[in-house]
Amino acid sequence: MSEIKKSTPSSAMVLASKWNSPENRRREGMRAAHGQNEMALCELLESYLLLKSSRKGLISPKTLLTYTETVHKFLGYTGPPESPKLGLLQLTPDDLELWMLYLQREEGLSPSSVKRHVYGLRNLFKALIWAEVLKTDPSATVRPPSDKTESHVKKGALPLEMYRRLLTLPLELHPEDLPRARRDVLLLLLGGSSGLRAAEICGLEVADVDLKLRRLKVRGKGAKTRVVPLQKSMLEALSSWLESRKALELRGKIQSQALLVSFQPMHFGKKLSTNGARTIAASYYTPLGIPLEMFGLHTLRRTAGTHLYRATRDLHVVADILGHSSVNTSAIYAKMDSDVRLEALDKLERLQNGD
């Protein structure tokens, strides 16, 4: 994949300014579309998302990266820029239907992955319409494939015993590196007990921790901030890690306000990235035999949501702690908990048997 540079806040402003002029936007957009120039098309797409999408400047780096991957994948499908088999300005719905079929049959992508790419491409077409390069969106009538497997079946949570075992691994695997073990235990707890998203975990700063009031300030999706209470295990993990972190800071090893920092030699003491956090979690998933499809920090969030629902049977509490805007989103955790369904069936059996 050609390298797409991540925009810093200042570079994003420059990029948006570059495409903000209607005349320049149309001229450069037409040139990019005709030449099927991946870099220029990604710049136009990013500028459109920053300036015109519903979330505007709050668009996440992960979303931008996902959409640039879609552009790369689709341009690879259309053929080399100098002699493409499909031109961006002559696309039809049938062309896009064939592309979706190709993604499923030839690349083996799941329906959800195909849907993600269709939405990414749809935003590129919106950007080209914004630039007055296209008049209509060729994907407007295209419907991505539906996934017949419900998400609670496809992506489960860790059972209680497995989660408890997971939390013991950092100290077992890194007995000679106490700071690393403490950081990793905290990372796993933030995901698996407090239910934070990957970006929320890595976005935490030391100032967000209030041990006296037992609360944590979390910056969530859409720049929404919530306060998460700290249970005993979280207080202990935070206190232990902050002690180790302070010692590293006094030795000049840390020059960042981030709560969690990297231990990689090239990035030691810098803010831990979401990719770095996922790699850390995966290093503990592997010894437990957790399936590859469950790798990632969101498995921990699903685990927290499922166990929280089991403990409370209250979707409103789950929604509040996890930062969901609707309890409908939280309802998935009730479905993930097989014990809840088993308890219901046991009660039904007792009722039917007259017990």
Question: Annotated catalytic residue: which of 122, 126, 301, 302?
Answer: 301
What CATH code is assigned to 9-148? 1.10.150.130
Question: Annotated catalytic residue: which of 221, 253, 270, 278?
Answer: 221
Give Cα 144 distance to the centre of its chain: 21
Question: Annotated catalytic residue: which of 197, 245, 302, 307?
Answer: 197
- Residues 34-86 have pLDDT tens digits of 999 999 999 999 889 888 876 665 677 778 888 999 999 999 999 998 888 99
* Catalytic status, residue 307: no
pLDDT grade for 5, boundaries at 50, 70 and 90: very low
* Catalytic status, residue 333: yes
Residue 46 identity (one-letter amino acid): E
* Domain definitions of the chain by residue range: 9-148, 159-345
Structure tokens, 34? 């005709």
Concatenated DSSP letters of 11-75: HHHHHHHHHHSHHHHHHHHHHHHHHT-HHHHHHHHHHHHHHHSSSGGG--HHHHHHHHHHHHHHH
User: How many CB atoms within 10 Å of residue 7?
Assistant: 18
Cα gap 151→99, rounded to integer Å: 25
Question: Annotated catalytic residue: which of 115, 214, 298, 335?
Answer: 298
Mean predicted lDDT score pLDDT of the chain: 84
Domain made up of 159-345: CATH architecture = Orthogonal Bundle (1.10)
Counting residues of the chain whose pLDDT is more than 90, the rounded percentage is 50
Provide φ and ψ at 296, rounded to 5°. Answer: 125, 155
Instruction: Name every residue whose Cβ is closer than 8 Å to that of residue 96 and which is 6 or more positions away in sequence.
Output: 118, 121, 138, 139, 142
* Catalytic status, residue 251: no
- pLDDT over threshold 50, residue 3: no
- Residues 226-251 have pLDDT tens digits of 888 898 999 999 999 999 999 999 99
- pLDDT over threshold 70, residue 151: no
* Catalytic status, residue 298: yes
- For range 175-198, the mean pLDDT: 94
- Residues 265-323 have pLDDT tens digits of 889 999 999 989 999 999 999 898 888 778 888 899 888 888 888 877 777 777 777 87
